[in-house]
Amino acid sequence: MKIANVIVDVPTKQTDRPFDYIIPKEWENVIQPGMRIVVPFGPRKIQGFVTDIKAGSEVKQLREMIEPMDLEPVLNKELLHLGEWLTETTLCFKIFAYQAMLPAALKAKYEKMVRLAPGMKAECLSQKIKPYFTNHKSLHWEEALKDGLVSVLQQEAAKGKLEVVYVVKERVRKKQVKFVGALFSAAELAVEKEKIQANAEKQKQVLDYFIDHPNLVELRKLLQETNASAATVKALVAKKLLFEEEMEVYRDPFEHRTFEHTYPLPLTNAQAAAIKPIHASIESQKHEVFLLYGVTGSGKTEIYLQSIQKVIEKGQEAIVLVPEISLTPQMVNRFKGRFGDLVAVLHSGLSAGEKYDEWRKIQRKEVKVVVGARSAIFAPFENIGIIIIDEEHETSYKQEDMPRYHARDVAIERAKTYQCPVVLGSATPSLESFARAQKKVYHLLTLSSRMNERPLPAVDIIDMREELRAGNRSMFSRKLFDMLKERIEKGQQSVLFLNKRGHSSFVMCRDCGYVVNCPNCDISLTYHRAGSRMKCHYCGYESHIPKVCPECSSEYIRYFGTGTQKVEEELGKILPEARVIRMDVDTTGRKGSHERLLKEFQEGKADILLGTQMIAKGLDFPNITLVGVLSADTMLHLPDFRSSEKTFQLLTQVSGRAGRHQLPGEVVIQTYTPEHYSIELAGMQNYDLFYQREMMIRKLHHYPPFYYLALITLTHEHLMTVVAETEKIVQYVRSQVSNQAVILGPAASPIPRINNRYRYQCLIKYKREPNLTRILKKILDQYQKETKNGLLVSIDINPFILM
């Protein structure tokens, strides 16, 4: 008897372990570790992942599994193992770890079909299943199960004749298009055509079309090209010569792009020196982590490309992670240009179906390189030769929900398994990584100058307090205004950057200072101009802007703060001749609009590109000679120990946008705190000095990289309960850890209430606590078992957001 170990899709403490199920005889040769199956669970039928198959079980009264969900494993052995590691290190449920590795299309809400693989005909299938594909292109999974076809389908899938596809069940918003195809070969159609009655001229024409074009064609196109009517096609379908099929059409965002093929550039001496140890690691299959530290434009990407090339030549695969907002077509082009169809791209702009298609290419080993955002780190390759993380300092590599993993840690874990190098690239490395490089845990590779020795742009720091004193109340300093004007006259382009993180526009009474807060959360409501409403970003509460102040009845209650719209309005007043493109969440919400706006700017259709952090990256246009940062310090005052680091990184990055080409660039940074070291040193583009200063401060306050952090957050409806329970946890942790650890709390979270739940936290700073994971697990066990009183506990190890 064969027994499957199954992690079931019930995310609770009690079910966070493998359950044993009997594999019935008929499935014995089908079920493999890494497949999903349906199992009975209490009175329900649920999904689960098979993690292992054993010969027996100690458990009495075993139940039988119901049916398989896959034709082949969706997780390979290494990923199954990685899931365990994720569970251990991030303290998440196993089911979350496995689900995180799969594309969304594999989750609920999608209907599964088995379909002929591209270019395959029903004739090539074995007798038993041929009839199912003769009149239809695809077979519903349920039907396959009902008719006992799974093992035959599996064999055909292994030969590449069939494949599994997922179709979105709710068809409402997806585009469905009718396609028509022929059920016979060209020769057979020619014979059939002769049988058609002579006056059915149109039908013959349609058949002629298919004799010339054997592929599926969109009905609309077919009618256009043949001048036939839909009724004609219907008649041919009724005669079982053609078939119609509704298909969801996805738009491939890169479909209409041609990738100009590029070739490896002869490396500069600095690049050659940097790539040598990477190549050595690839060749000797020895795991090593490299920190490639080089300013923007120093040639890091070329090093990535030539390292990948080496990996491909060895028959291995490469994963490249890029922050979501840098995953621009420009970026993708550089990889597609070099490796063409060997590249799969995974980013959030793709529909679930498109993502699944890319994932399938990886699984089928049709590609050798995957370029993607955070979750691409789980690409199901099986022979990884290098993992590259560009802009490794980006905080988006940390996932904030379960599993709360950092892609860098996952990369290193996988690279250890495959004994391959990890390359972390950045112009402003995270303090953690740079410190590790200093300690020789990572191998530091430095590119100290830009290509062609092009100088870094000159940076001007403007003290906005001075401006105010001089009577300038505008959001533009006199200097920035003059420079913008000058660019417009010269026909050059400018980029204006508004740091909006943590600085949304709120509604305030100018007379008494009253700020409109969310009634459910302790946070101010954000002003939205559309409909003149205020919204809470945490719970979704919405309301109209009051006409008079609820506190003092003053009429001077209005929105405060500088949103991009407001800047745009002001630009319209002071520089009416300027053509402005605004890029923010409002103007880039629709798919493809981000790209379109950038393209317009590139084509010179505007003088000024105005935007939030989404324009901080990837812009590389020759005509940009001025970058202005409107308010550099908005992020400095967030309750986050990384706020200086983030400010420095962002300002350095934005400055790097100017003068990348022939024309020299200038940067203007406006600030109310010009004396702050992160602003001053960003102005000097001096990372090394910033690193030293910031390390001193981190050391003084016991923060990473000197200490590790673990954050325990409790939430409950009643303030007293949450405080008392947090206090208990603080006491318990204190009694268990060494006196080297620093335990802070109970303290209200920076956002003390969300959706009417109070939030309290305990922050643990520690250097070496071998027992901490066990202690934290125990806390989770305890509270996850007792969810009855409504108390929720979450733990984030190495948190990035302390909110």
Name the site residues for ligand ADP (rule: CB under 6 A).
Answer: 265-268, 271, 294, 296-302, 451
In the complex, what is the shortest distance from the CB of residue 24 to ligand ADP, in angstroms, rounded to a whole number? Answer: 55
In the complex, what is the shortest distance from the CB of residue 639 to Zn ion, in angstroms, rounded to a whole number? Answer: 18
- Tokens at residue 80, please? 């199954």
Nearer to ligand ADP, 228 or 423 (CB): 423
Which residues sit opposite 46 in a β-bridge? 39
Asked if 560 is part of the footprint of Zn ion (rule: CB under 5 A), the reply reads no
Residue pointed to by tokens 């006491």:
731
Show contacts with Zn ion in window 504-523 (CB under 5 A).
Answer: 509, 511-512, 514, 518, 520-521
* CA–CA gap between residue 800 and residue 643 (Å, rounded): 11
DSSP state of 769: -
Nearer to Zn ion, 508 or 580 (CB): 508
Of these partners, Zn ion, ligand ADP, none, which one is at the site of residue 288 (CB under 5 to 8 Å by kind)?
none
Nearer to Zn ion, 519 or 639 (CB): 519
Nearer to Zn ion, 521 or 797 (CB): 521
Of these partners, ligand ADP, Zn ion, none, which one is at the site of residue 265 (CB under 5 to 8 Å by kind)?
ligand ADP
- Name which of 418, 427, 579, 429 is nearest 491 in CA terms: 579
Cα–chain center distance at 600: 25
Of these partners, Zn ion, ligand ADP, none, which one is at the site of residue 518 (CB under 5 to 8 Å by kind)?
Zn ion
In the complex, what is the shortest distance from the CB of residue 338 to ligand ADP, in angstroms, rounded to a whole number? Answer: 11
* CA–CA gap between residue 632 and residue 195 (Å, rounded): 78
| Window of 44-52, 324-332, 542-550, 785-793 that interacts with Zn ion by CB under 5 A | 542-550
- Name which of 50, 245, 46 is nearest 133 in CA terms: 245
Strands (E) in 44-127, as ranges, are 44-54, 63-64, 67-68, 110-116
Among 86, 464, 536, 654, binds Zn ion (CB under 5 A): 536
In the complex, what is the shortest distance from the CB of residue 115 to ligand ADP, in angstroms, rounded to a whole number? Answer: 40
Q: Is 422 exposed, middle or buried (0-12, 13-18, 19+ CB in 10 A)?
A: buried
Helix (H, G, I), strand (E, B) or coil at 235: helix
In the complex, what is the shortest distance from the CB of residue 334 to ligand ADP, in angstroms, rounded to a whole number? Answer: 7
Of these partners, Zn ion, ligand ADP, none, which one is at the site of residue 296 (CB under 5 to 8 Å by kind)?
ligand ADP
In the complex, what is the shortest distance from the CB of residue 656 to ligand ADP, in angstroms, rounded to a whole number? Answer: 8
Of these partners, Zn ion, ligand ADP, none, which one is at the site of residue 692 (CB under 5 to 8 Å by kind)?
none
Length of the chain: 803
Of these partners, Zn ion, ligand ADP, none, which one is at the site of residue 536 (CB under 5 to 8 Å by kind)?
Zn ion
In the complex, what is the shortest distance from the CB of residue 749 to Zn ion, in angstroms, rounded to a whole number? Answer: 14
* CA–CA gap between residue 156 and residue 595 (Å, rounded): 41
Q: Residue 177 is inside which H or E element, if any?
A: strand 176-182
Nearer to Zn ion, 232 or 524 (CB): 524
Nearer to ligand ADP, 99 or 430 (CB): 430
Asked if 707 is part of the footprint of Zn ion (rule: CB under 5 A), the reply reads no
Asked if 254 is part of the footprint of Zn ion (rule: CB under 5 A), the reply reads no
DSSP state of 658: S
For helices 687-700 and 643-655, angle between their N-to-C axes, nearest 10 degrees: 170
Contact 55, 3 (CB under 8 A): yes
* CA–CA gap between residue 507 and residue 178 (Å, rounded): 50
In the complex, what is the shortest distance from the CB of residue 435 to ligand ADP, in angstroms, rounded to a whole number? Answer: 22
Name the CA dihedral angle for 343, 347, 350, 352, rounded to a multiple of 10 degrees: 100
Nearer to ligand ADP, 451 or 748 (CB): 451
Contacts of 605 (CB under 8 A, 6+ apart): 579, 581
In the complex, what is the shortest distance from the CB of residue 377 to ligand ADP, in angstroms, rounded to a whole number? Answer: 20
* CA–CA gap between residue 683 and residue 28 (Å, rounded): 66
| Footprint of Zn ion (CB under 5 A) | 509, 511-512, 514, 518, 520-521, 536, 538-539, 541, 549, 551-552, 554
